[in-house]
């Protein structure tokens, strides 16, 4: 090996198999329907500036891991927002506004979802209120303000910013556009997930769908993972092996898969994977994930910066890829799984495997990106 030959083992914290696994297309599409998915693609694909984001072959890494191919969906090229979240929040704003110009939309965010909502509001000429926690960087807050949003910083973590958003929106009759669902708030998160599913339609257009044998999906509250699995049910004829990856400090999907019910995580420390640092899986994606995710893996922060740098200097492919801290986990979990022979065998990763990973963001916080890649 060359890229991975320095003796360093790529770390994972926990790996589990879902004992309740049963990939049922009909059941999945009851949570996010074919019509929901098709309508989102029809709308978003007609937005000004829309184009498919690249599907890059990590050919150097696949050769080292003795896999047939690794495909990296590069969401750093998504509109000007550098994140897959551009598909969800902006689409949900479009759906809830229904052509009205006198509503105010509001959301709580760790960054990328808020930028999407702010951008969606700007597209339609709507006022927008964004609630962020004290852990969200000034650069990310400013990026939302630059899109015309009124940004309110809240003491505490993401959950505290969400509580404040709900309280203020209820008081002022603002329309909440959130990517997390709770009792009596299920429809809007479905809109965001329908937006995310556009990625799978693009992937099908970019690759022979029968070639995908494995797909690794990041999870925070689970919206993107649930949307992509619904996209698999909608678009793919074969069913790839599915694995969800999370920070070990906030592995809410993994812990919920263990027990078969939603488990709330008390986050003791914030992860570098900030957009994935969520304490509880959302209700809508949970209905999809609880049976259709085959494996879960959790990671420490140890290899985030190194992976970002290796993607950025073309060590893994023939292209330099600008990958944010939430893009690295898919690649890290794949390398760690291949290094652990027991997991590699369990996942049936071999020279015939074609693995899809999601590069869910670029340098959405440029200063953070520079700091991380330059420390290696």
Structure confidence by residue, pLDDT tens digits, 5-42: 565 689 999 999 999 999 999 999 999 999 999 999 99
> What is the C-alpha to C-alpha distance for residues 243 and 297, in angstroms, rounded to an integer?
7
Q: Of all residues in the chain, what percent carry a pLDDT higher than 90? A: 83
pLDDT higher than 70, residue 159: yes
> What is the C-alpha to C-alpha distance for residues 306 and 297, in angstroms, rounded to an integer?
19
Q: Checking DSSP bridges between strand 354-359 and strand 55-57, what pairing results, if any?
A: unpaired
pLDDT higher than 90, residue 135: no
Q: What is the number of alpha carbons within 13 Å of residue 92 lying toward its C-beta? A: 31
Topology of 14-83+192-374 in CATH? Rossmann fold (3.40.50)
Q: Checking DSSP bridges between strand 354-359 and strand 214-218, what pairing results, if any?
A: parallel
Structure tokens at 372: 């991380």
Mean pLDDT for 345-366 is 96
Q: Is residue 132 classed as helix, strand or coil in its secondary structure?
A: strand
Residues of CATH 3.40.50.1100 domain(s) within the chain? 14-83+192-374, 85-182
Inter-residue contact 276 to 111 (CB < 8 Å): no
Name 129's bridge partners.
106, 150
pLDDT in tens, 285-313: 999 999 999 999 999 999 999 999 999 99
pLDDT at residue number 1:
43
Mean pLDDT for 56-76 is 97
> Which of 231, 186, 226, 184 lies closest to 204 in space, CA to CA?
231
Let me know the angle formed at the C-alpha of 280 by 189 and 40, rounded to the nearest 5 degrees.
20
> Which of 133, 187, 128, 121 lies closest to 164 in space, CA to CA?
133
Topology of 85-182 in CATH? Rossmann fold (3.40.50)
pLDDT in tens, 233-247: 999 989 999 999 999
């Amino acid at each position: 090996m060359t890229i991975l030959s320095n003796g360093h083992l790529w770390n994972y914290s926990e790996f589990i198999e879902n004992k309740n696994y049963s990939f049922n297309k009909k059941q999945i599409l009851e949570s996010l329907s074919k019509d929901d998915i098709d309508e989102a693609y029809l709308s978003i694909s007609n937005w000004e500036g829309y184009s498919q984001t690249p599907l890059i072959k990590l050919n150097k890494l696949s050769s080292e891991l003795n896999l047939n191919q690794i495909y990296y969906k590069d969401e750093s090229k998504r509109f000007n927002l550098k994140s897959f979240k551009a598909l969800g929040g902006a689409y949900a704003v479009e759906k809830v506004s229904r052509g009205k110009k006198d509503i105010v939309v509001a959301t709580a965010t760790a960054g990328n979802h808020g930028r999407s909502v702010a951008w969606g509001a700007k597209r339609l000429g709507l006022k927008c209120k964004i609630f962020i926690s004290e852990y969200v960087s000034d650069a990310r807050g400013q990026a939302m303000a630059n899109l015309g949003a009124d940004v309110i910083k809240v003491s505490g973590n993401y959950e505290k910013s969400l509580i404040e958003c709900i309280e203020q929106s209820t008081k002022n009759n603002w329309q909440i556009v959130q990517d997390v669902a709770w009792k009596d708030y299920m429809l809007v998160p479905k809109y965001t997930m329908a937006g995310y599913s556009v990625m799978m339609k693009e992937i099908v257009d970019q690759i022979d769908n029968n070639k995908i044998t494995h797909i690794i999906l990041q999870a925070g509250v689970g919206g993107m993972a649930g949307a992509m699995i619904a996209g698999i049910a909608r678009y793919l004829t074969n069913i790839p092996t599915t694995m969800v990856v999370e920070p070990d400090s906030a592995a809410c999907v993994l812990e919920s898969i263990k027990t078969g019910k939603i488990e709330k995580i008390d986050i003791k420390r914030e992860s570098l994977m900030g957009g994935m640092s969520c304490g509880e899986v959302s209700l809508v994606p949970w209905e999809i994930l609880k049976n259709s995710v085959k494996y879960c893996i959790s990671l420490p922060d140890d290899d985030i910066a190194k992976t970002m740098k290796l993607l950025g200097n073309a060590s893994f492919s023939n292209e330099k890829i600008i990958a944010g801290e939430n893009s690295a986990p898919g690649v890290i979990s794949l390398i760690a799984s291949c290094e652990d022979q027991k997991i590699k065998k369990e996942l049936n990763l071999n020279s015939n495997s074609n693995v899809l990973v999601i590069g869910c963001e670029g340098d959405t916080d440029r200063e953070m990106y520079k700091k991380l890649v330059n420390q290696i």
